[in-house]
Amino acid sequence: MAISVPDRSLAEEHVGGAPPVGETDHSVAPPTPRGDIWRRFKRNRLAMVGLVLIVVIVLAAIFADFLTTGQPGKVNPADANQRLFSPGHPLGTDRVGRDLYTDVLYGARVSLRIGIFAGLIAASIGIVVGAISAFYGRWIDTSIMRFTDILLSLPYILIALAIITVVGPGERTVILVLGLLGWMAIARVLRASILQVKETEYVDAARALGASNRRIIFRHILPNTIQPVIVYTTLFIGAAVLSEAALSFLGVGVQRPTPAWGLMVAEGRRSLANYPHMLFVPAIALSILVVAAVFVGDGLRDALDPKLK
């Protein structure tokens, strides 16, 4: 009985080339959505620079106890008005002898806490308000959006200044005020996204299967519309840090002995002519954090936008 031998060229083609018809090559894993987002984010050089800067600032804030032996906000008149690179004071001191290097490191904690927690409060309120407004529509949508427009027309800093003046200054007060006054734009951004998807087939299918409105909103709609909220919240963190600096500069933000970059800028302007480093050191640190947040926000916008794939 003769035994047929398969064609050698076909065997080699199956071994070294593409897989046979009907079979799938599992040697290369398909890209995951998160991996795809990360690859697009990495291609944005400014976004990567911003991410590195934020990581450095976060690490400096976390390990401030190990990076300096000084005490934040400690007054030492004997070391007052030390210039840059003075012995024991690499960034100099202020008018009352507070070490700027120590205050900048610990001030990063304050700025990050205010920016992150104010952003979380604003995003939480904005998501709830925007989702309710867009999903239910009609008079509910009209009433919420008109109220939002009225709040957006009011001067943000002046309202925050008035509230903090009545309630009393402090870090927690600043976080609450900035968070409660920052949700309007997030609500409008999310509303616009939900209006584009709430009439799609998968939402109609979930409604036909008897899903509740809450499940439809939080299970089916929000996961597909949350991308712009993530981007705007990242940008809002930088804006909140800047707003805290403005409030501290005006004297109604964080109070001494807690170090805050805006407060340090306000104190440094009095000695700008003779000791400019007292103003420029905290101002540069503040600018780096805000610019880094903007870079990361822009990178997330490009990475999360499916139209830019």
Domain boundaries, the chain: 35-308
Look over the chain and give the mean of its residue pLDDT values, rounded to a whole number.
81
pLDDT digits (tens, 9 = 90+) for 130-154: 888 888 878 888 898 899 888 888 8
pLDDT score for 12: 45
Cα angle 30, 55, 241 (rounded to 5 degrees) comes to 120
In this prediction, residue 11 has a pLDDT band, given cuts at 50, 70 and 90, of: very low
In this prediction, residue 121 has a pLDDT band, given cuts at 50, 70 and 90, of: very high
pLDDT score for 93: 82
pLDDT digits (tens, 9 = 90+) for 184-231: 988 988 888 888 887 777 777 877 877 777 787 777 788 778 888 888
Higher pLDDT, 156 or 3: 156
Higher pLDDT, 253 or 173: 173
pLDDT score for 20: 54
pLDDT score for 13: 46
Higher pLDDT, 308 or 301: 301
Q: Residue 125 pLDDT > 90, yes or no?
A: yes
Give the CATH fold of the 35-308 domain: MetI-like fold (1.10.3720)
How far apart CA 92 and CA 283 sit, in angstroms, is 14
How confident is the model over 287-294, as a mean pLDDT?
A: 89
